[in-house]
Amino acid sequence: MKKRKSFGVKLWLWFVLFAAAIFLVLWLLQTVFLQSFYNDMAIHGVEKAAKEIAAHAGEADLYDVIDEVAGENSLLVFVTDGQRRILYSSDAYQGLYQEERRNGNPYLAQDQELSWEKGALRNLPDSYETLLEKMEAGEESAGFITEDNAAYVTGCVLPGGNILYISMPLGTVGGTVRILRLQLVWVSVLSLVLGFVLAWVISKRFEKPVAQIAASAKEIAGGSFHPELPRGFCAELDELSDTLGETALRLEKAQNAQREFLANVSHDLRTPLTMIKGYAEMVKEISWSDAEKREKDLDIITREADRLTALVNEILDFSAMQSNNAPQEYGVIDLSRAVRDVIEQFTPFCEQNGYAIEAEITDGVTARADETQLKRVIYNFIDNAVNHTDDSKKIKVSLTSSNGSARFAVTDYGKGIADEDLPYIWDRYYTARRRKNKAVVSGLGLSIAKEILTAHSARFGVDNKTGCTFWFELQA
């Protein structure tokens, strides 16, 4: 069943069906419907010839036109008067007796004189009478297929009262059909054999690179991120191979980042958990009776619990954003006030640890945004700068407005980010630089900022020249 559904088998079957359909159409057109097509074309040609002859009635070159039309279309043409006497006749062989046609009826012998009373009617076909009967019914012209389906006859009354009779045989295509049928038998057999072989070769050629790509995809799924991908067969499969290769590299980086994240989180979780457990036991066994010592130990327990809560909340918030479950409340906010509020959150930390935040904030800057989420982006950017600035412990925060757009930027004066890390700093779990303090590193801060800014349709990025400057722009 699997083999039956393979790419090569399906391609081969479609190719064979296509070839069979082509030959079926050829058989129908060249044999079954050939007589019908021939009849339709013949009738159209005869009617056109009749109109052309009628258009030259009364002109001196009428007989020349009749000879030309009869020769080109294999027609039998008679022009008679009202008493059924032949005035002129012509057919496809008229050119064989050019001299005789000038002297009267071309069907007479050279030494025979034309006698309208004696032998004229013998030169007219039986269908001539049928034509007259149809025109005597009141029609100026008539056309019909003879009862034996051997010929098509048409005619009309020419100016002056003469009768134009034209007939063309329809049965001559029968021999052609037999020849075509015999040829089609051989052509069909040879072509179908060639088609089967060609379809098999093409299907195998297409199946091989597709199978290689499928095998490489399985290797990637199994954890091997550097499979040998086929190239050179066609542009589309080369593009698929390139995409699969790029996907493999991204998966490898994501897996490595996740492993690093798990290692970091495991270590950072173990530390506060160990401290919480240790200080809880100390309170229970040692400092319970010493109120001052007990309060210090409980403060440490509370602080470590807060660290754990912050880490878990960060992971949960990122998951909610990834699944589009994070609540959003958009409105016009005072961005200047929002930035100052976030900076105030860092004031105790900066005073305690000697950090300095240089703020250049333009008053009255507004933007349409979810204030809670945007404050989180601002907080993450400032927190990132605080933890990666140099020994001067300085960072710069700016907010400006220009051409209806608000721009927020945070600059640290650290060593910057390595060029090879820049494309991945917004990825989840990715930590390109080591923090200067011992806060929990989840690698989700910039990823959360990216999700929020993307939802706000904001422009954002990082300038990596003097230190690092993370920025975003919103429509005011």
Q: Which range has the top average pLDDT, 11-15, 238-242, 428-432?
A: 238-242
The answer, yes or no, to whether residue 425 has pLDDT greater than 50, is: yes
Domain spans, the chain: 7-32+175-218, 34-171, 235-322, 331-475
Query: What is the model's pLDDT at position 324?
Result: 57
pLDDT > 90: what percent of the chain?
A: 10
| pLDDT of 140 | 74
The confidence score (pLDDT) of residue 45 equals: 85
DSSP 31: I
Residue 108: per-residue pLDDT: 47
Neighbours of 447 (CB within 10 A): 21
Report, as an integer, the average pLDDT of 18-33.
70
The band of 384, judged by pLDDT with boundaries at 50, 70 and 90, is confident
Of 123-127, 151-155, 309-313, 379-383, minimum mean pLDDT range: 309-313
pLDDT per residue over 88-121, tens digit each? 888 876 544 444 444 555 544 445 444 433 333 3
Give the C-alpha separation, 32 to 30, whole Å: 6
User: Is the predicted pLDDT of residue 442 greater than 70, yes or no?
Assistant: no
Distance CA 409, CA 459 (A): 12
Domain 34-171's class?
A: alpha beta
Mean predicted lDDT score pLDDT of the chain: 76
pLDDT in tens, 167-198: 888 765 556 666 666 777 777 777 777 777 77
> Has residue 1 got a pLDDT over 60?
no
Q: What is the pLDDT of residues 313-322, one digit of tens each?
A: 766 666 666 5
Least confident of 83-87, 215-219, 275-279, 368-372: 275-279
Beta-bridge partners for 142: 155
**Whole-angstrom distance, CA of residue 76 vs CA of residue 86:** 13
Where does the pLDDT of residue 419 fall: very low under 50, low under 70, confident under 90, or very high at 90 and above? confident
- Quick: pLDDT tens for 246-260: 888 878 777 776 676
Superfamily (CATH H level) for 331-475? Histidine kinase-like ATPase, C-terminal domain (3.30.565.10)
Q: From 215, 87, 107, select the one nearest 162 (Cα to Cα).
A: 87
Whether 89 and 70 have beta carbons less than 8 Å apart is answered as no
CA distance 387 to 470: 13
pLDDT classification of 70: cutoffs 50, 70, 90: confident
Most confident of 200-204, 389-393, 407-411: 407-411
- In 149-290, which residue ranges form alpha helices assigned H by DSSP? 173-221, 235-282
CA 149 to chain centroid, in Å, comes to 54
Mean pLDDT, rounded, for 45-65: 86
- What is the pLDDT averaged over residues 376-398? 89
The CATH topology of domain 235-322 is: Helix Hairpins (1.10.287)
Whether the predicted pLDDT of 210 surpasses 70: yes
pLDDT at 338: 93
Mean per-residue pLDDT for 213-232?
A: 75
Where is pLDDT greater, at 292 or 100? 292
Q: What is the pLDDT of residue 433?
A: 47
- CA dist 213 and 240 (Å) reads 8
| Residue showing tokens 């996907």 | 247
Q: What is the percent of the chain where pLDDT is above 70?
A: 73
pLDDT of 396: 93
Contacts for 303 with CB less than 8 Å, ≥ 6 apart: none
